[in-house]
Amino acid sequence: MNIRNLLRTIALIILSVFITHAAMAQDFENDLNLPNISKIILTPEEQKWLNEKHLVKIRVGSVPPYQFLTNPPSGISVDYIKLIAEKTGINIQFDTIPYTLFESLQKLKDKNGIDLILSITPKPEREEYIEFTDAYLSSPWVIFNGEHDSFIRGISDLYGKTVSVQKGHSMHRLLEKEYPDLKLLVAKDTEAAIEAVSTKKADAFIGNLTLTSYLISQHGISNLKVAALTPFGNHNQAMGIRKDWPELASIITKTLQTLTPKEHSAIFNKWMLANYEQGLELHDVIKFVAIFTFAVLVIVILIIYHSYRKLQNEIRERRKNEIIVEKFFKQPMNIHLILELDGTIRRINNGWINILGYTKEEIEGKYIFDLIHPDDIEMTQKEMVKLGQGEMTSSFENRYLHKDGSYRLFVWSAIASMEDRLVYAVASDITEKKKIELDLKELNEKLQLKVKEEVEKNNKKEKLLFEHKRFADMGRMINAIAHQWRQPLNNISLVSQMMEEIDNGDEFDFDKNELYSQHRDIVEHMSQTIDNFRNYFSRDKEKHNFSIVDEIQSTLSLVDVKFNSHGITTNFNINESGNTQDNEDTFLCYGSPGDFRQVLLNIFNNAHDAIIDYKEKNSNQHSKITITVGCDSTGSHVTIENSGDNIPDDILVRIFQPYFTTKEEGKGTGIGLYMSRIIIEQEMNGKIYAMNTDSGVAFHLLLPKVVKDEKK
């Protein structure tokens, strides 16, 4: 056979391969009864993005045969994006500045001059700033070695041998990490790595079948062959798009999915069957044809297989969805509905029959607004408009007419399909639930009203008890005043008698003026006693700054006679060591002075009673009440310690509770210390507590620091 006949035979073989492939592709589409996948269905957001006429700036690199930095740019990836732009109307502009991949990724991340990278391997760490399309370039990782080298079954046969790799390439890092038994020869680029195997400097090269086959042909290397597949699967590449343009990524993915195997093959055939340089030997041509035929067949088979798997998945998904829909509509209790956007009912399930009493024939094909309560029609129409705009409905409530004339309340969730312009909805009947909720609401309102009434009653009762306590204290104070006035009244009587005797001529060691002076002093003392009594029971509740020391001294003057009559001594100590204020601002407190005197009187009276009770058991016990006032940066501290008996721990924690008393019935109300806690902690923002000491029991009042003349 001469050379011409041999070439004709080879050409016929190649032609038959691709004619067969084209026929297979056509049969594949026909046999699977494919839908019209040439139609690209876009969401409103994607269509809006297209209508905005964005200019997409595309980075072109030097990655043959996928991308060439020619003028104009060319290559497999370039042809793909041109075809996509033609089908969708996307405005594209190529950038042929030779950026490194790192520079390109940074510009894409910063949205600075690059909007799209034509081919990039999707990685999780890149998803933060890149929106990936579906992978559209897929080529297996294979092992290349010399044409006369021994048979290789896989990568394990390369252990101990030298494998050339491109410096910094992902395959370089992978082999270095996972296959330490391989001897790696690091080359500056893929061409140098291939050349190393051709010149016997390395035993094998692992690379992308498409890229490596193309480079072998372009560099006229004739002594290499594809030896075996690797466990690394395929080298899948997608287009990478700036993160804020997810619509563009989705548009490109949808367009790629509509491309037929013919269109894929046309792009690959254009570059994988490129013209060869003239002057090659016949055996070189045969080898080139064999390599390219194998490469193209593998790629085409991968494309067909990928399309087949995708279509099979789509078919399975559709069947699965049909089963779900059928199950969805067979559920008797839930209410399911397929509705056209104009309100026409397409399909219902048995829930409508069970809940509303109609038959399917009475509802399907009817206008849904005929069933909706008149007061709910307007808001339902607004919700339908939102569904038509792509929004999802959740927890939407409206009422539907039952066949008996009553209305049932439904709560809906719904979503509209922009592809078939239908609304898919599911609802639950919440009529009884709503009624229960309303009943509970009414019951809660009644309970709240009842609680409010009881609280008001308790407040009134507490107020009456407080008043009762004040009147009881008033009686005790009147008794104290009677004691305090008895001696001054006797003195007044004596002075008056002496003045009368002087007028009658009797002589004394002092004159009449001295008697007048004594008379005035006695009356002034009695007047001060009345003022203290009046201030103590004053109804004035106005809050202002007052002196703690003055109020303690004033209150002590009211109880001194009673204390003295029972042999109880009082010590009043003022400790100014922690004072940082001016003298006139020392021991200021903010509140109602009358309320504060009430607290002091309660504590003094309890101290008096505790000491008297303790003296009945211990007659030799010294009776004493010590009042100490101090201050620091937080405020003033008042300690009132009595020499009575300690309080048991289980009682000590309860003494400030309302109505708690250890006294006999009729001798105590259990209100005094509770009232004191309310005044100190709620009215004066302070703190009150009691604790046992070695000498008896101490009550502590902590009162916050104030500024002189502060207004609140």
Distance CA 181, CA 183 (A): 7
| Residue 601 forms part of a structural domain | yes
Lowest-confidence region among 230-239, 280-289, 387-396, 465-474: 280-289
Containing domain of residue 465, as a range?
A: 451-537
- Number of neighbouring beta carbons within 10 Å of residue 657: 12
Distance CA 712, CA 708 (A): 12
pLDDT, tens digit, 9 for 90 and up, residues 568-609: 999 999 987 655 555 556 789 999 887 888 889 889 988 988
Distance CA 60, CA 93 (A): 10
| Residue 443 forms part of a structural domain | no
Q: What does the block give as tokens for 198?
A: 């051709």
Percent with pLDDT over 70 in the chain: 73
Task: Tell me: do 224 and 267 sit in the same domain.
Answer: yes
Q: What does the block give as tokens for 579?
A: 């004072």
**Terminal CA-CA length for the chain:** 117
Distance CA 503, CA 278 (A): 161
| Residue 440 forms part of a structural domain | no
Distance CA 193, CA 580 (A): 85
pLDDT, tens digit, 9 for 90 and up, residues 546-574: 999 999 988 887 777 678 878 899 999 99
CATH (domain of 634):
3.30.565.10
Q: What does the block give as tokens for 70?
A: 């020619």
* The residue type at 549: V
- Single out the residue in 304, 330, 356 at which a domain terminates: 330
Distance CA 369, CA 634 (A): 70
CB 652 within 8 A of CB 700: no
Res 326: pLDDT:
56
Task: Tell me: do 236 and 380 sit in the same domain.
Answer: no
Residue 223 DSSP one-character state: S
H helices within 331-375, ranges in order? 350-356, 360-363
| Residue 303 forms part of a structural domain | yes
Q: What does the block give as tokens for 19?
A: 């004619």
| Residue 22 forms part of a structural domain | no
Res 118: pLDDT:
94
Distance CA 513, CA 494 (A): 15
Distance CA 137, CA 151 (A): 29
Estimate to the nearest angstrom the gap between the alpha carbon of 108 and the chain centroid. Answer: 30
Distance CA 595, CA 540 (A): 9
Distance CA 56, CA 50 (A): 11
| Residue 695 forms part of a structural domain | yes
| Residue 10 forms part of a structural domain | no
Task: Tell me: do 163 and 299 sit in the same domain.
Answer: yes
| Residue 265 forms part of a structural domain | yes
Res 586: pLDDT:
74
| Mean per-residue pLDDT of the chain | 79
Write the Ramachandran bin of 200: left for phi over 0, alpha for psi from -120 to 50, otherwise beta: left
**SS3 (DSSP) at 107:** helix
Please count the structural domains in the chain. 4
- Single out the residue in 537, 564, 587 at which a domain terminates: 537
Q: Please report which helix (H) or strand (E) contains residue 394, including its range.
A: strand 393-401
H helices within 32-88, ranges in order? 44-51, 76-88
pLDDT, tens digit, 9 for 90 and up, residues 376-391: 999 999 988 888 888 8
Show Cβ contacts of residue 518 under 8 Å, excluding neighbours closer than 6 positions.
Answer: 491, 495
Query: What number is the average pLDDT over the span 150-154?
Result: 83
